[in-house]
Amino acid sequence: MKRKIELKNVKGTYDYLPEQQKIRNYINDTLKEVFEKYGYQPLETPILCYYDLLAGKYDETNDILNEIYKLTDQGNRSLGLRYDLTVPFAKCIAITKDLKIPFKRYEIGRVYRDGPVKTGRDREFIQCDVDVVGISGQLIEAEIISLFIDGCDKLGIDVLIKYNSRNLMKGLILEQNIADDLIANVITIIDKLEKISEVEIIEEFNKIGVSQEVACNLLNIFKLDLNDLDKLYQNTNNELIKKGLEEIKELQDYIVELDIKDKTKFVATLARGQDYYTGNVFEAYSKELTCSIGGGGRYDDMITDFINDGNEYPAVGISFGLSAIYEILKKREQFQNKSLIDIYVIPMNTPKESLILANNLRKLNYKVDIEMNNKKLKKSFEFANRENIPYVIVLGEDEVNNNYFNLKNMITGEQIKINLNKIEEIKKIIDKNL
């Protein structure tokens, strides 16, 4: 007896049908074009990784460890599915000895997180990263922010990129004499300041042993804007605050020169979740969605620690949230009722001739499909209308014998006669409408 199987997708994973996948392909193709314009090169890394590689940068309490899909192979090795593209990229740089540095790469690939499912956040999703290894400073960070904005502009998304310095955050926290072993937890709580109430923030501080007075001091400090922080700490001896303010101010200068100030904002509470960030961090938001559509930052220590040869390998990158971007674009009119097929050829006892015609049209860069199931003409036209195919050619024996075909516009109903030996004339007719 055959075992009965319940056919369904795992929660947080989806089948993308053609009308959905065409939008996803459009996003990928658009962004690839932008990336290569900025000099970034394609790279692909494995989905399957050693668990120690994925978990090595975190302590046991970090939330990301709970979201790693863990498995073992037949050799009883501990493995995991990658949860982002950054750690595998760092590994790739570390083990590729002949790679020329600086190196700028982009990668688009599947990642997995066993976390809560909500709009723009799935368990299996495509991540899209650009990263640079071998360049320090804020010039490259400004370029990455500009690249992200450029990509969103090409996709028609109005974006706001928030930025901050992890060094500044850590320095401000240390000013309150908080123990080193609490700093990571304090940063995580501060990062929630724009998402939950101050009462809830103070409660979370209290749970980890931060007093009411210190919690209130932290709230007041992290409400300050950049100018206020700069004035308050202009004579500080706290090296982390000095470094953080320098990083932010230099980045801000580049942002002003690039004329993208209206699409960026300094936010002192922004931390990003990963502990591997060492400098400035970024988070991108669309005004059409409440969730983030991307983020990243500087992670100078990761590759340096992996290679461990006495040299430094500064790195910075940013990730596009393709699932969230898809949720925005799928509502756009440009993707509604648009066919993937330009021309539909219907043979009437002319299968060979129709195949030749279709191939010749494909050589002209048209997307062409052929009716191959001997449907009646009425059914074939119904299919073309249902699939919103803009043009149809019915090729019968009479047309072949007289060396012509009729091109029918399915929207206007107009038919135009074209010589089979001069099919390139079709370009004058349909290129302006496709």
> What's the residue count for the chain?
434
Rounded to a whole number of angstroms, the distance between the first and last alpha carbons of the chain is: 53
**Tens of pLDDT, residues 85-130:** 988 998 999 899 888 999 999 999 999 999 888 766 789 989 999 9
Name residues of the chain where pLDDT drops below 70. 1, 57-62, 119-120
- How many alpha carbons fall within 13 Å on the CB side of residue 183? 16
Q: Where are the domains of the chain?
A: 18-329, 340-430
3-state secondary structure 82-110: CCCCHHHHHHHHHHCCCCCCCEEEEEEEE
Using CB atoms within 10 A of its CB, is residue 262 exposed (0-12), middle (13-18) or buried (19+)? exposed
CATH number of 340-430: 3.40.50.800
DSSP 8-state symbol, 407: E
Q: Contact 284/159 with Cβ under 8 angstroms? A: yes
Q: What is the pTM of this model?
A: 0.86
DSSP 8-state symbol, 118: B
State residue 61's pLDDT score. 63
R_g over Cα of the chain? 28
State residue 175's pLDDT score. 92
Tokens read off for 369: 């499909």
Alpha-carbon span 39 to 106, nearest angstrom: 10
Q: Hey, is 201 helix, strand or coil? A: helix
What are the strands of the beta sheet with 368-370, ordered from one edge?
368-370, 343-348, 391-396, 404-409, 415-419
What is each CA distance from 329 to 27, 155, 162, 232, 388, in whole angstroms?
Answer: 9, 8, 22, 44, 19
Using CB atoms within 10 A of its CB, is residue 389 exposed (0-12), middle (13-18) or buried (19+)? buried
Alpha-carbon span 300 to 137, nearest angstrom: 11
Per the rule left: phi > 0, alpha: psi between -120 and 50, beta: everything else, 237 is alpha
Please name the helix (run of DSSP H) or strand (run of DSSP E) that holds residue 392, with its range, or none. strand 391-396
Locus of tokens 């983020």: 295
In CATH, 18-329 is 3.30.930.10: yes
Question: Among 358, 343, 353, which Cα is nearest to 398's?
Answer: 353
Alpha-carbon span 156 to 328, nearest angstrom: 10
Please name the helix (run of DSSP H) or strand (run of DSSP E) that holds residue 279, with its range, or none. none
**Tens of pLDDT, residues 151-177:** 999 999 999 999 999 999 999 999 998
State residue 254's pLDDT score. 97
Q: Contact 27/67 with Cβ under 8 angstroms? A: no
Tokens read off for 212: 């009411």
Written as one letter, the residue type at 296 is G
What are the strands of the beta sheet with 280-286, ordered from one edge?
41-42, 103-112, 124-133, 315-321, 292-298, 280-286, 159-165, 264-266
State residue 1's pLDDT score. 65
CA dihedral 156, 299, 169, 260 (to 10 degrees): -30
What is each CA distance from 231 to 234, 236, 245, in whole angstroms?
Answer: 5, 10, 11
Alpha-carbon span 291 to 34, nearest angstrom: 23
